């Protein structure tokens, strides 16, 4: 692999057909797995589709080029990894019809009656009895979700083009994990026998374990619990309030094995400090968080402890941790951020292999401003300056920080959705404004920049990657719509047929209801203390590196991950 030479096109009909197959086969599986375990089949899809197509074309005496393999590999990840935007339509149906949401009201009106018809059909609609999205009552919510999806895709792609040019072409960041992807593509292209044997050595044990884990669901008999072994029934005698369990989804084990042991250890340490140690301390010392201490009782499941302690204890501290990390990274990268602004303000001199930077800037502005315009039409009560600042400035800020961090460290912790915290500090009264936002980048541009780095390593035109990204997102939305409708027809969501939805959808609904009725209190002092602490810890990263310890970002990342998954 070299970064010298001629860039080649890999966006061929073979790649397009393979991505269509990936969408048809794996998007429904990914949605099902999310509802059952909270896991994802994206990693498996990457290998299965890529290896299958590579072998089929090799048998046909017309093997894929390295550029085609890269685009197939990257495109499959885009196509399968994310949840379809229509996933949240079914969730909204659950919210409107859940008995407990009627316990929440704003100025005497119960929340389900405040859900506008562009989010979900009104309570009592016959559409809910048919359990299908193919109903006229869903036309308006589907149209709104589609418009916002298209605008977000436009903005994400535009901002991704701009930042990948800055971070890869201009700053020439290393992107450590890009070399892992590049090496994998090289192995698949060259097909060395020793690597194939190593792959099969892991494939068969995974196949057997997967059969034990998921066959029970199909047969109606639980062989292994999903999504985890809940051990709180035992540990509550010694450390009440601690989240103790073991994840049963092999995907999380595989993900941990891909990380360096010190990094994985720091992530686990951060998780244990928050969800084991401090959850225990706050449970047995009610003076810290009295509401949580009153709500806790012996016999609480892991899922319930997580749900209630997150709402009553951790929302403000974790929001502060995220702010502190972002501020520290921004300080460390201030020169690069200023340079990024100057380059994007004068989008000239881009490589011929990149799409026009002027077009990219126009795409970002059109997607962002378009989402603000539609949002303001639907929810005029939210001040325009709030939506504009969030969609334009905050999105750019997040994208720059995440892209730079991934370029230097190889990873960045998943960011919490900031919109509800932003709305909290406005005078807004209602429901829709809390759960729907204008376009906000959550840092997907970091993975886009890394993919462009892999494109450089495989000598693939970066412009082809952005075509594949757009195609993958569209396929995900189209097939995901059909798959979500099919899964909803098969069984109610949430239900015992989809165990993970039983855990997390009530959590999502409760969070939405508590925010909308302002029963969740964001304490500025708690946020500030947490932000200062994480700011200081993040800035200590160079000191940790001098003694051979992982970046402190990995330690803080663990704060957002519960122990079964850490």
* Predicted model pTM: 0.81
Q: Give a yes or no: residue 539 inside a domain.
A: yes
- CB contact at 8 A, 249 and 38: yes
- Total domains in the chain come to 1
Q: Give a yes or no: residue 555 inside a domain.
A: yes
CA dist., res. 460 & res. 206, Å (int) = 33
**pLDDT at 216 (0 to 100):** 62
**pLDDT at 153 (0 to 100):** 97
User: Residue 350 sits in which domain range?
Assistant: 13-565
Nearest in space to 232 (alpha carbons), one of 300, 284, 313: 300
- The answer for residues whose C-beta is within 8 angstroms of residue 53's C-beta and 6 or more apart is 14, 18, 64, 72
Q: Give a yes or no: residue 8 inside a domain.
A: no
First to last CA, the chain: 33
**pLDDT at 326 (0 to 100):** 77
* pLDDT in 10s for each residue of the chain, 566 residues: 445 557 888 899 999 999 999 999 899 998 998 888 777 767 677 777 888 888 888 887 788 888 999 999 999 989 988 889 999 999 999 999 998 899 999 998 999 999 999 999 999 898 999 999 999 999 999 999 999 999 999 999 999 998 998 888 877 888 888 887 887 788 777 766 666 676 667 667 777 777 777 666 555 566 777 778 889 999 999 999 999 998 887 766 766 676 778 888 888 899 999 999 999 999 999 998 898 988 899 899 998 898 788 878 888 898 888 888 878 877 877 776 677 667 666 655 556 677 888 889 899 999 999 999 999 999 999 999 999 999 998 898 888 878 877 887 676 766 777 898 899 989 999 999 999 999 999 889 999 999 999 999 888 999 999 999 999 999 999 999 999 999 999 999 988 888 888 888 988 898 899 889 998 888 888 889 999 999 999 888 888 878 877 778 888 888 888 888 87
Q: Give a yes or no: residue 4 inside a domain.
A: no
Q: Give a yes or no: residue 3 inside a domain.
A: no
**pLDDT at 217 (0 to 100):** 57
DSSP 354-387: SPPHHHHHHHHHHHHHHHHHHHHHH-TTS-HHHH
- The answer for residues whose C-beta is within 8 angstroms of residue 71's C-beta and 6 or more apart is 10, 11, 15, 460, 464, 465, 468
Q: Give a yes or no: residue 409 inside a domain.
A: yes
Nearest in space to 156 (alpha carbons), one of 360, 454, 388, 379: 360
Helical pair 139-164 and 444-457, crossing angle rounded to 10 deg: 50
Tokens of 522: 């964001």
CA dist., res. 450 & res. 230, Å (int) = 37
**pLDDT at 311 (0 to 100):** 77
Q: Give a yes or no: residue 5 inside a domain.
A: no
Q: Give a yes or no: residue 190 inside a domain.
A: yes
């Amino acid at each position: 692999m070299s970064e010298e030479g001629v860039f080649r096109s890999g966006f061929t009909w073979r790649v397009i057909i393979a991505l269509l197959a990936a969408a048809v086969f794996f998007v429904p599986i990914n949605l099902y797995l999310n509802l059952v375990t909270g896991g994802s089949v994206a990693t498996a899809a990457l290998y299965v589709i890529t290896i299958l197509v590579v072998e089929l074309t090799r048998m046909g005496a017309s093997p894929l080029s390295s550029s085609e393999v890269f685009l197939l590999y990257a495109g499959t990840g885009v196509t399968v990894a994310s949840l379809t935007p229509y996933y949240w339509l079914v969730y909204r149906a659950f919210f409107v019809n859940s008995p407990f949401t009627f316990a929440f009201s704003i100025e005497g009106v119960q929340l389900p009656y405040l859900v506008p018809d562009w989010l979900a059909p009104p309570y009592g609609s016959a559409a809910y009895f048919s359990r299908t999205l193919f109903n006229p009552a869903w036309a308006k919510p589907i149209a709104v979700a589609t418009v916002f999806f298209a605008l977000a895709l436009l903005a994400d792609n535009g901002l991704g083009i701009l930042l990948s040019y800055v971070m890869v072409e201009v700053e020439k960041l290393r992107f450590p994990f890009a070399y892992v992807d590049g090496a994998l593509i090289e192995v698949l292209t060259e097909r060395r026998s020793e690597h194939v044997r190593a792959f099969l050595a892991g494939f068969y044990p995974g196949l057997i374990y997967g059969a034990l884990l998921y066959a029970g669901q199909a047969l109606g008999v639980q062989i292994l619990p999903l999504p985890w072994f809940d051990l709180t029934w035992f540990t509550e005698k010694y450390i009440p309030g601690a989240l103790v369990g073991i994840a049963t989804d092999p995907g999380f084990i595989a993900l941990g094995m891909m990380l360096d042991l010190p990094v994985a250890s720091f992530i686990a340490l951060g998780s244990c400090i928050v969800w084991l140690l401090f959850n225990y301390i706050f449970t047995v010392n009610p003076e810290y968080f009295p509401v949580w201490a009153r709500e806790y009782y012996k016999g609480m499941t892991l899922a319930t402890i997580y749900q209630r302690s997150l709402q009553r204890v951790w929302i403000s501290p974790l929001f502060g941790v995220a702010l502190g990390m972002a501020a520290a990274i921004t300080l460390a990268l201030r020169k690069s951020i200023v340079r990024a602004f100057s380059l994007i303000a004068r989008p000239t001199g881009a490589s011929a292999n990149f799409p026009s930077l002027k077009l990219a800037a126009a795409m970002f502005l059109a997607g962002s401003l378009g989402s603000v315009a539609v949002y303001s039409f639907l929810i005029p009560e939210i001040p325009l300056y709030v939506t504009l600042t969030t969609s334009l400035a905050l999105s750019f800020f997040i994208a720059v920080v995440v892209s730079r961090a991934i370029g230097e460290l190889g990873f960045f912790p998943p960011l919490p959705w900031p919109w509800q915290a932003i709305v909290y500090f406005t005078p807004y009264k209602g429901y829709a404004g809390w759960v729907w936002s204008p376009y906000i980048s959550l840092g997907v541009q970091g993975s886009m920049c890394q993919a462009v780095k892999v494109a450089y390593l495989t000598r693939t035109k970066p412009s082809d990657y952005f075509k594949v990204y757009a195609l993958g997102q569209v396929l995900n939305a189209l097939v995901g719509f059909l798959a979500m409708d099919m899964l909803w027809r098969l069984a109610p969501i949430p239900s015992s047929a989809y165990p993970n939805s039983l855990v997390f959808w009530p959590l999502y609904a409760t969070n939405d209801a508590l925010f909308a009725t302002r029963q969740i209190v964001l304490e500025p002092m708690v946020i500030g203390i947490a932000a200062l602490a994480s700011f200081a810890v993040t800035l200590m990263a160079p000191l940790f590196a001098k003694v051979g310890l992982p970046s402190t970002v990995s330690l803080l990342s663990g704060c957002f991950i519960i122990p079964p998954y850490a």
